[in-house]
Amino acid sequence: MLGELPPILVVDDEKNIRTSIQTMLQGEGYTVQTVDSAEAGLKRLEENEYFMVITDARLGGMTGYEFLKKVKAQWADTPILMITAFATPKLAVEAIKSGALDYLSKPFAPEELLHAVGRCAERYKLLAENAALRSRNEGPNELDQIIGESPKMADLRQLIKRFAPTNATVLILGESGTGKELIAGALHNLSARRQKHYVRINCAAIPENLLESELFGHEKGSFTGAIKQKIGRVEEANGGTIFLDEIGDMSRPLQAKLLRFLEDGSFTRVGGNDERRVDVRLLAATNRDIIHEIEEKNFREDLFHRLNVVQFNPPPLRDRGSDIRLLAEYFLHQFGENMGKVIKGISSGARHKLMSHHWPGNVRELRNVIERAVILENTQEIQPSSLPDFYLETRLKKGEESGPSVGVQSLDELMTQYEKDIIMRALDQQRYNLGKTADALKLSRHALRYRMQRLNINTDGDSDDDESVSSEKEASSQ
């Protein structure tokens, strides 16, 4: 029963506590991963699914409370158990107020910990069952979540309906933010495989040397850090669907192994000899120009043909005409509801502004723009002033730089503006891919993020192109 649960993440800067919690929980059959800081915890949460988080209130770096707020904001459903130093009611109240599901005061008895964790496990199972029920009942409506009435979108929906129930391999090609992930999800949820696992792997987010073992698993001791045997994601997906996102980023040697896997479903774990076989349906997507990648010898042509049994091409938003308006209204409704704000519609001025933008970040960009507008708006309709200036676009069109307004703004303000312009432009050129933008600006990704935060540049909450699974993962998750 516990085997079906994802691991628990324990965040504590004291090694002894980490180890003792881990021992207690593992003794009861839970899988536990530990990290020593909130920062490392957030990174882990981006990479893996956890059914709960246990954190100390006092951590070096970001405090447990700040950590809690961040986790709540991004993974609202993940319960958090906070460990506070002394039994003072004030701290406990603060923990609960910040969103902790429960708290324990040090020192605590093992039973107290197990009891609290047991409750979270129960809750996780209930939520998972509900979600499974919902997907069974609501399966046929899955397509309703793909908004768009333009002819291309209508065709796309037909195509999804037609190919979802088959086992055909699907290749989804489209610009960033056009809904590739949404399509892959719908294909799985509308298939008979929906009762089984849907496993998504972002090939760009996992370091090249770890991707093979992530996919196909490894035997104990097959490489430094392979402390124990690991089941690959393809085995986890047995009977279900695997979605290889950003497949254009996969290395050529691994492409060869994938080709073999596609041919007959067979593979071997890294460092293993046994040939294994699973029944998995494969979906793949990339925002790269795959033909160009083939010409450049970065992508194997034979693999392309194998994957390209059915091809989906979600169109860029700029080619979708009045879908822009439909999507804007859809997101307006969604965010309005989430934020408890009643905004009735979009003023004609704002609509015009939306329709004339080029949308390099496609639906994702539109979604972010509307989210921001809902926050800013204080009338009943979205006004043009609540939308960004899309100034880069406009300025690029004019083909001129508007000179600095010396005398009006301070040097600091001018410098800030200049820095913001440069980062915006780089983001735009790199299609909002943080990794590539950081490279282009010769910054670390971390430094870029920091600057974006400081300059209030908000592109996307979904940062899954982030550097992922780091090698210390294996070391500390034991």
Ligand X SMILES: Nc1ncnc2c1ncn2[C@@H]1O[C@H](COP(=O)(O)OP(=O)(O)OP(=O)(O)O)[C@@H](O)[C@H]1O
Please, what is the minimum distance in Å from the beta carbon of residue 284 to Mg ion? 11
Cα 351 to Cα 332: distance, rounded to the nearest angstrom: 12
Residues between 416 and 455 with contacts to ligand X, criterion CB under 6 A: none
Q: How many residues bind ligand X (CB under 6 A)?
A: 16
Q: How many residues bind Mg ion (CB under 5 A)?
A: 1
Please, what is the minimum distance in Å from the beta carbon of residue 187 to Mg ion? 14
From ligand X, Mg ion, none, interface partner of 230 (C-beta below 5 to 8 A by class): none
Residue where the block lists tokens 């200049």: 418
Q: Which residue is nearest to ligand X (CB)?
A: 179
What does the chain come to in residues? 478
Q: Is 370 in the site for ligand X (CB under 6 A)?
A: no
Residue with smaller CB distance to ligand X, 180 or 281: 180
Kindly write out the interface string for residues 310-329 of this chain, putting x where it contacts ligand X by CB under 6 A and - elsewhere: -----------------x--
159, 168, 182, 457: residue in contact with ligand X (rule CB under 6 A): 182
Beta bridge partners of 32: 8
Q: Is 465 in the site for Mg ion (CB under 5 A)?
A: no
Kindly write out the interface string for residues 177-206 of this chain, putting x where it contacts Mg ion by CB under 5 A and - elsewhere: ----x-------------------------
Q: Are 9 and 53 in contact (CB under 8 A)?
A: yes
Cα 172 to Cα 149: distance, rounded to the nearest angstrom: 20
18, 43, 44, 180: residue in contact with ligand X (rule CB under 6 A): 180
Q: Which residue, 197, 301, 282, 201, is CA-closest to 246?
A: 201
114, 146, 392, 414: residue in contact with ligand X (rule CB under 6 A): 146
Q: Is 214 in the site for Mg ion (CB under 5 A)?
A: no
Residue with smaller CB distance to ligand X, 7 or 179: 179
62, 114, 147, 168: residue in contact with ligand X (rule CB under 6 A): 147
Contact window for ligand X (CB under 6 A) among 90-98, 128-136, 141-149, 374-382: 141-149
Cα 468 to Cα 458: distance, rounded to the nearest angstrom: 21
Residue with smaller CB distance to Mg ion, 395 or 431: 431
Residue with smaller CB distance to ligand X, 117 or 206: 206
Instruction: Please name the residues in contact with 408: beta carbons below 8 A apart, sequence gap of 6 or more.
Output: none
Contact window for ligand X (CB under 6 A) among 88-96, 179-187, 384-392, 416-424: 179-187
From ligand X, Mg ion, none, interface partner of 232 (C-beta below 5 to 8 A by class): none
Please, what is the minimum distance in Å from the beta carbon of residue 180 to Mg ion? 5
Q: Is 17 in the site for ligand X (CB under 6 A)?
A: no
The binding site for ligand X (CB under 6 A) comprises 146-148, 174, 176-182, 287, 327, 363-364, 367
The binding site for Mg ion (CB under 5 A) comprises 181
